[in-house]
Amino acid sequence: MLEAAGLDAEEERVYRFLLGVREADTGVIAAQLGWDAARVESVLAALHGKGLVGRAAEPPAGGPERYVPMAPDAALRPLLLRGHEALEWARRGVEQLAEEYRAGGRRHDAEQLVEVITGASVIRQRLRQMAYGAGEMRWLCKARPVALAAAENDEEWELLARGVRYRTIYERELLEGPGMVDNVARSIRAGEQARAAGTLPVRLVIADSSMAICPLVYESGDVLDGGDGGAGAGAGAGAGDGDGTERAPGPADRVGEPTAAVIHSSSLLDALIALFESQWAAATPLHVTDSGELADFEDGQNPAVHLADDERYLLSLIVAGVADKAIASQLWVSQRTVQRRIQALMQRAGALTRTQLVWQVAQRGWLTNG
């Protein structure tokens, strides 16, 4: 039972006996277990070395040495930790060997870099496998062509609750579909980070930094019209309307089954990740208002009326390249206050750097509208 903690069956038996009697000498233990004294002494020595038994403080005068059990949690915890560390090292070693195996295969077989899969159900199953094994999902949700229209989107809510990070960029045309605004708002409330862009170059999903799925170009007549039925995770198995309800297949749906490319770790995957990050930096963050509505996506502008006069003035100084110290002097506040206000504006704009903040200010017309 305790082999994983470093105890063999004989050591566990002797230790359990001592737990019951609290104190015993070698002869008593040998008699009760039916062992010879040498065998008992060997096991006691092993248990003493592991900190599970100790010698009684005051053995009887002229009598044999007696042994007492020690607290198991204090003694076994270091053994368990060492065992856990050994298992972790072994796991990492297996992962490294597996990666070397895959890398070797990719060097000799290009098909292992890009895998082509066909069929809505096959694509849907692969997407589910990617999502349930990932820590972060990144989506480019293009309005047309829709090769992966969603009929259901249950897994995203579960995965968001489990801590999986979702970052999704929606093409604005997609947000105009029936029911899409409510679905995206629901995703954001569940924890999805969402942004909107005027146009997107391709429909794409990336799991961590290890795999991506991208629909391939369709032949004439193979394009499926429609929209996603939910947020980023909801690439469904069949054709669907914008509100997420499944519709009956039509003649256009039967012209050709959807085909997608599965891209594994490679320079091509690195390029797709860079594409997503560049689109993310340029897209407009979406948020849900206090009234529960989706905001900050209409016409790609965040209305300037949301900015107070002092915020607009601060942004004008930032855009002009004025240093924080000079801004503080002009606003009659401390430099730390200036930095705190700039951080708040960056958060509202979804910018990670001041350069991105300036870019977002220009894109949204914060200094030209209102």
Tokens for 41?
């002494």
Instruction: Characterize the bridge pairing of strands 66-69 and 24-25.
Output: antiparallel
Tokens for 126?
């692969």
Question: Which pLDDT tens digit goes with each residue over 203-250?
Answer: 999 999 889 999 885 544 333 333 344 444 333 333 333 344 444 444
Q: What is the pLDDT of residue 211?
A: 92
The residue among 316 and 62 whose pLDDT is bigger is: 316
SS3 (DSSP) at 185: helix
* 66 phi-psi bin (left φ>0, alpha ψ -120 to 50, beta other): beta
| Cα–Cα distance measured from residue 53 to residue 50, given in angstroms and rounded to the nearest whole number | 8
Strand ranges across the sheet with 24-25: 24-25, 66-69, 53-55
- Own/partner contacts of 325-332, CB < 8 Å, gap of 24 or more, are none
| Cα–Cα distance measured from residue 62 to residue 54, given in angstroms and rounded to the nearest whole number | 19
- Whether the upstream peptide bond of residue 64 has omega within 30° of 0, thus cis, is no
| Cα–Cα distance measured from residue 313 to residue 341, given in angstroms and rounded to the nearest whole number | 12
Question: What are the residues whose beta carbons fall under 8 Å from the beta carbon of 26, sequence distance 6 or more?
Answer: 37, 40, 41, 44, 64, 65, 67
Question: Which pLDDT tens digit goes with each residue over 81-117?
Answer: 776 777 778 778 777 777 776 666 655 556 668 888 8
Crossing angle of helices 354-364 and 309-319, rounded to 10°: 120
What letter represents residue 55's amino acid?
R
SS3 (DSSP) at 208: coil
Average confidence score pLDDT of the chain? 76
User: In the chain, what percentage of residues exceed pLDDT 90?
Assistant: 8
| Cα–Cα distance measured from residue 300 to residue 211, given in angstroms and rounded to the nearest whole number | 30
Tokens for 58?
């005051």
The residue among 226 and 202 whose pLDDT is bigger is: 202
| Cα–Cα distance measured from residue 51 to residue 5, given in angstroms and rounded to the nearest whole number | 13
